[in-house]
Amino acid sequence: MSFMTDEIARQPGAWRAAAAAGASVVALPRPGERVAVVGCGTSWFIAEAYARLREQRGLGETDAFAASEFPLQRGYDRLVVISRSGTTTEILDLLARQRGRCPTVALTTSPATPIGTAADHIIDLSFADERSVVQTVSATSALTLLRASLGEAIDGLADAAEKVLAEPLPEEWIEAEQITFLGRGWVHGIAREAALKMRETTQAWTEAYPSMEYRHGPIAIAAPGRVVWHFGPDDDRLREDVRPTGALFVNHPDDPQVDLIRVHRLAAAVAQLKGLDPDRPRSLTRSVVLGS
């Protein structure tokens, strides 16, 4: 068994712990603050999901950026960074540049790393730390904590995750030649994370778009043997437009964060089938530390 498989299965328990922690975190943004949320890779996509959710709930303007693309000329009331490793170069550089300019808070599973002193406040997610290079439980636990802090109704997520973990994985997903992931609003971050997870773990060809953008070109990729995976309700009736292409349209009624677990499991299963090590994907390291 890979570390990744074990970490995927740990999600319900870790989400319960994260939900309890999220209700009482004080260093996170207050209502009305103008906030930037930043990460790299998976952490960037979690940042995007949280930023959109916070703004949707009317809690204040919230922008998400890849750490390397942060607009330094802008002023924010608070900077939230997400980094499992606590050692990612672009994150540490940004925290150093923001010191004294705006309060910073970091979510990390590794508080005893440089991020521990680089950020003004640390939210310790060490209960969700991982040994696999690819992120599953750490990222979804960070999102759970952030959603809890926004007052989202997340009580049923862990129970729903347990059900998804016990489901069989359909052969047509495992055999798919290509998968495109779609989602609207905060769910676009989930779609991007699903696409990255499949790429990192299985070297698969995946793409991700905001749902309504899909008709503006990307639908040309849909064909028999390929999958279009829509996270969240398909209010835009994309299923009907995908049907004539012959691609399989996948859509579940679950919360998109719960549905993401199906993609985690799919990634692990496809990696195994291809003889790839899901814990040590090609060309990846646990964190990207750049030389000076």
Which one of 41-49, 99-107, 232-240, 260-268 is the stretch in contact with ligand F1P (CB under 6 A)? 41-49
- For ligand F1P, the closer of residues 83 and 180 by Cβ is 83
Question: DSSP letters of 181-242?
Answer: EEE-TTHHHHHHHHHHHHHHHH---EEEEEGGGTTTTGGGG--TTEEEEE-S--TT-HHHHH
Measured from the CB of residue 133, what is the shortest distance to ligand F1P in angstroms? Answer: 5
Toward ligand F1P, which CB reaches closer, 180 or 201? Answer: 201
**Closer CB to ligand F1P, residue 134 or residue 158?**
134
Report, in Å, the least distance between residue 200 CB and ligand F1P.
Answer: 6
Is the CB of residue 49 less than 8 Å from the CB of residue 175? no
Site for ligand F1P in 123-162 (CB under 6 A): 133-135
Closest approach of ligand F1P to the CB of residue 184, in Å: 23
Site for ligand F1P (CB under 6 A): which residue of 2, 5, 11, 42? Answer: 42
203 token code pair: 């070297």
| Amino acid code (one letter) for 86 | G
Distances (CA, A) of 141 to 23, 81, 207, 224, 240: 13, 15, 24, 35, 34
The contacts of residue 280 (CB under 8 Å, 6+ apart) are 133
By CB under 6 A, name the one of 29, 41, 114, 278 that touches ligand F1P.
41
As a whole number of angstroms, the distance between CA 13 and CA 158 comes to 7
Angle at Cα 66 formed by Cα 26 and Cα 91, nearest 5°? Answer: 60
- The yes or no reply on residue 2 touching ligand F1P (CB under 6 A) is no
Query: Is residue 62 a contact point for ligand F1P (CB under 6 A)?
Result: no
Q: In what order do the strands lie in the sheet with 35-39?
A: 62-66, 35-39, 78-82, 104-108, 121-124
Q: Is 43 in the site for ligand F1P (CB under 6 A)?
A: yes
* Binding-residue total with ligand F1P (CB under 6 A): 17
Cα 150 from Cα 282, distance rounded (Å): 37
Give, as ranges, the residues between 75 and 104 that touch ligand F1P (CB under 6 A). 83-85, 88, 91
Question: Is residue 247 at the binding interface for ligand F1P, with CB under 6 A as the rule?
Answer: no
Which residues form the interface with ligand F1P (CB under 6 A)? 40-43, 83-85, 88, 91, 133-135, 200, 284, 286-288
